[in-house]
Amino acid sequence: MAAKRSIGWVLLLMAATSVGPATRAAERYRLDSTNTQVSFEIHHLGFQWVSARFPDIAGEFVLDRSGPQSRVDVTVGIATLQCSEPRWNDRLTSPAWLDAARFPQMSYHSGHIELERSQAMADGELTLHGVTRPVMLTVTFLDCPTGGDCQFAARGRIRRSEFGLPHGFWSGGDQVEIAISGTTH
């Protein structure tokens, strides 16, 4: 009888001290250019036509392991674009392309994130070149311990035509592969 009471007290103590997913607070992580990279690739006729990254990035990732409050907000400075071929930097930030003077930032705001073990689907809106469209990002958590820094990689696709950006045979393909990777803190 005493053994049953001891086990009962141990179970009660464990239940009282453990934090279940429903009671765990959402974790906030800061995204910045020191630890996060936003890049894109455009392919044309099956070959990589141009790739670039944006060093100016800021934002926040909120991870609610029970799900409903998870979100990501990212803002990127267009004028900081750095291409794999430096001759493209001025061309892509010019009024004929991204028009960094008129549209100095692009932003992504997720409205809903569906968590599944080490992966998530972020359903949000991308604002680029003055146009806002829905974009789905697949996020893989490489390592995301509770209370520690989170390492992640996210991928998505957009079509340049949906954002009023030039595309075609001489200006590269319409589809753009977006990648975001980093470590939050």
Q: What is the pLDDT of residues 115-160, one digit of tens each?
A: 887 788 999 999 999 999 999 999 887 677 777 788 888 999 988 8
Tell me the torsion sign for CA atoms 81, 74, 130, 174. Answer: positive
What DSSP character marks residue 1? -
CATH number at residue 149: 2.40.128.110
pLDDT in tens, 1-14: 544 433 333 322 23
pLDDT at residue 49, as a whole number: 59
Of how many residues is the chain composed?
185
Instruction: Report the amino acid identity of residue 94.
Output: S
| The predicted structure's pLDDT at residue 40 | 83
User: What pLDDT score does 29 carry?
Assistant: 87
Average pLDDT over residues 87-111: 90
Q: In the prediction, which pLDDT does 47 show?
A: 55
Residue 79 domain flag: yes
How far apart are alpha carbons 131 and 149 in whole angstroms?
33
What is the total count of domains within the chain?
Answer: 1
Pair of tokens at residue 22: 């429903």
- Please name the residue that has the structure tokens 């689907």: 121
Residue 42 lies in a domain: yes
> Does residue 76 lie within any of the structural domains?
yes
Q: What phi and psi, each to the nearest 5 degrees, are found at residue 80?
A: -90, 5
**Which domain range does residue 118 map to?**
23-183
Q: State the pLDDT at residue 3.
A: 45
**Is residue 11 included in any domain, yes or no?**
no
Does residue 88 sit within a domain?
A: yes
Q: Find the range with the poorest average confidence among 16-25, 47-56, 89-98, 164-173.
A: 16-25
Determine contact, residues 136/156, Cβ cutoff 8 Å.
yes
Please check whether residue 140 lies inside any domain of the structure. yes
What is the CB neighbour count within 10 angstroms for residue 110? 22
pTM of the model: 0.78
| DSSP per-residue codes, 105-138 | EEEEEEEEEEEETTEEEEEEEEEETTEEEEEEEE
Residue 18: inside a domain: no
Phi and psi at 5, nearest 5°, equal -65, -40
Q: Is 7 helix (H, G, I), strand (E, B) or coil?
A: helix
How do residues 30-81 score in pLDDT, each as one tens digit?
888 888 888 887 765 555 557 889 999 999 988 887 767 888 899 999 999 9
- For residue 171, being part of any structural domain is answered with yes
Tokens representing residue 19 in the block: 């934090």
